[in-house]
Amino acid sequence: MANSEYEYVKREFEFDRRLPPSNWIVVRIDGCHFHRFSKIHAFEKPNDENALRLMDTCATAMLKKFPDIVFAYGVSDEYSFVFREETEFYHRRESKILSLCVSYFTSVYVMKWKEIFPNKELKEPPYFDARAVCYPNLKTIRDYLAWRQVDCHINNQYNTCFWMLVKSGKSEQEAQLSLKGTSSKDKNELLAQQFQMNYDDELAMFRKGSSVYREKVETAMKVDYGDPIKRTRPILRVAHVDIIGSEFWQNHQHILREGKCRYEFMKQFDINHMLPPCNWVVVRINACQFNQFTTIHSFDKPNDAVALSLMNESASLMMEQYPDIVFGYGFGSEYSFVFHEKTELYRRQESLILSSCSSYFTSLYMKKWKKFFPHKELMPPPRFEAEALVCPKLKILCEYLSWRQAECHTGNQYNTCFWMLVKSGRSEKEAHETLKGTLSKDKNELLFQQFQMNYNNEPAIFRKGSCVFRQKVHGSDNGVTIERWDVKVDHVDIGAGFWRKHPWILGC
């Protein structure tokens, strides 16, 4: 971190909300605008088996990636992930857990799309929101999962009837009126009498949803002498079974212990933290384990201009998706997005803002990868975490952005010196030792004297980072002059002079 006068914005305005200890944590991920998404991609109604398989694939990947997830339950475009009660994943920091989980889920969804839908183009980036809910004991966890499976049954039974009526010739409004006020028994009779269909014969995947968990299996290990030795090891299993009753839990006591079930009161645990009104909201997105990611994908050091262009394009498209974002600033593997002070996105619910932003950014990054790296396979899937801070005054917001740009300068100057030394034959340890305790002036002199390099002549995108904002442009349509707002990417100082020149961005 740069030792600058601007760092107080971190100390005083960034949240570090931690989920209470000794509680089971459930992260529920839900598709954003998936009615439209499923329509655009022509998903089968009422259920698309391949779409559900894709969701199950993502959930399985989550359990592989995060060992603290002990169970997952999914239906339609929703998945709930249960973290064990003693988890210290990211020190139980809510924003980190939420954004990282939803980002990785989204990443796998995009990466596995072609595998599940080889003949369907992914026409728009999918994205998800998420919330974290804490449950104090195993009984409430059991009840939570029962509640979700009851919802699965109710919704699927209704949707099955609805779409059978629509496919038989009724309008959607007529189908809704036909089902209004009907009980579960009535719907079963409707399916049997009108369509000769037994609802219980429908695929269990549709009726019961999907449960993902680790199953203990016994395998024989070969030895050089004597009989094989038997070992128990966990494997991941996806099952479509009843989890409301006790039989499943009795047979899988290593997942959760048995408890009595009551699920009507689940929503009282679902607490939403609201960001304070009339404050500027900044969502800062940062890639996880990006040093490893850059090595795997052979990014240029100290800066990869193509990789930065991919980040900038993703940021530009974020502004198109979220009109309330008025400014973005990014460098390296991070981007800060400024929402205007009156935003009511998700009614200012922190978890939904953070999760949807990190998910959509991840989706964009992956979808645009081939455009920027046509000859590089994306492996493994990237993931991004997100944090929120609020700025009650415009001055504080501007100083936050100045702090990030100061970080950009300090980090890039150090990295430029470091990699020049390494490329000249020094070991990484020697390069670190050479730069230890050096000032900015010292680094400039090192570059000039040893490498005949003027740091100030380096591309501005490396030294100053990238600003993304809307700017009014003039054009013509059939001879008529028109105005429109286009998203612009620039690499400039974002001090007072910038804001004077662009007063419309923050409404100065």
Q: Tens digits of per-residue pLDDT, 432-448?
A: 999 999 999 999 999 99
pLDDT confidence tier of residue 8, bands split at 50, 70 and 90: confident
Nearest Cα to Cα of residue 455 among 419, 415, 494, 413: 413
- First-to-last alpha carbon distance for the chain, in angstroms, is 29
How far apart CA 258 and CA 143 sit, in angstroms, is 11
How far apart CA 52 and CA 76 sit, in angstroms, is 6
Interval 238-265 mean pLDDT: 78
Q: What per-residue confidence (pLDDT) applies to 266?
A: 58
Alpha-carbon dihedral angle through residues 495, 496, 502, 505, given to the nearest 10 degrees? 80
Q: What per-residue confidence (pLDDT) applies to 259?
A: 35
Q: Does residue 263 register a pLDDT over 60?
A: no
How far apart CA 263 and CA 247 sit, in angstroms, is 17
Q: What per-residue confidence (pLDDT) applies to 5?
A: 80
Kindly report, residue by residue over 67-95, the tens digit of the pLDDT: 999 999 999 999 999 999 989 999 999 99
pLDDT confidence tier of residue 273, bands split at 50, 70 and 90: confident
Architecture per CATH, 17-215+237-269: 2-Layer Sandwich (3.30)
pTM for this predicted structure: 0.85
* DSSP labels, 9-44: HHHHHB---BPPTTSEEEEEEEESSHHHHHHHTT--
Residues 110, 366 contacting (CB under 8 angstroms)? yes
How far apart CA 328 and CA 318 sit, in angstroms, is 9
pLDDT confidence tier of residue 267, bands split at 50, 70 and 90: low
pLDDT confidence tier of residue 327, bands split at 50, 70 and 90: very high
Residues 319, 339 contacting (CB under 8 angstroms)? no
Q: Does residue 261 register a pLDDT over 60?
A: no
Domain locations along the chain: 17-215+237-269
Residues 351, 94 contacting (CB under 8 angstroms)? yes
Query: Which of 6-10, 79-83, 379-383: highest mean pLDDT?
Result: 79-83
Residues 46, 159 contacting (CB under 8 angstroms)? yes
Q: Does residue 220 register a pLDDT over 80?
A: no
Give start and end residues of each alpha helix (H) in 222-330: 247-251, 290-296, 305-321
The H or E element spanning position 367 is: helix 350-367
Kindly report, residue by residue over 88-141, the tens digit of the pLDDT: 999 999 999 999 999 999 999 999 999 999 999 999 999 999 999 999 889 999
Q: Does residue 262 register a pLDDT over 50?
A: no
Neighbours of 178 (CB within 10 A): 14
How far apart CA 241 and CA 501 sit, in angstroms, is 62
Q: Does residue 370 register a pLDDT over 60?
A: yes
How far apart CA 161 and CA 189 sit, in angstroms, is 10
The backbone torsions φ and ψ at residue 51, rounded to the nearest 5 degrees and listed phi first, read -65, -40
- Structure tokens of 6? 């601007």
Q: What per-residue confidence (pLDDT) applies to 464?
A: 98
Nearest Cα to Cα of residue 31 among 140, 117, 109, 141: 109
Q: Which residues contact 304 (CB under 8 A, 6 or more apart)?
A: 294
Nearest Cα to Cα of residue 252 among 59, 62, 70, 65: 70
Higher pLDDT, 478 or 251: 251
Q: What per-residue confidence (pLDDT) applies to 508?
A: 59
Residues 339, 345 contacting (CB under 8 angstroms)? yes
Q: Does residue 258 register a pLDDT over 50?
A: no
pLDDT confidence tier of residue 1, bands split at 50, 70 and 90: very low
Q: What per-residue confidence (pLDDT) applies to 226?
A: 64
Question: What whole-number percentage of the chain has pLDDT above 70?
Answer: 94
The H or E element spanning position 331 is: strand 325-331
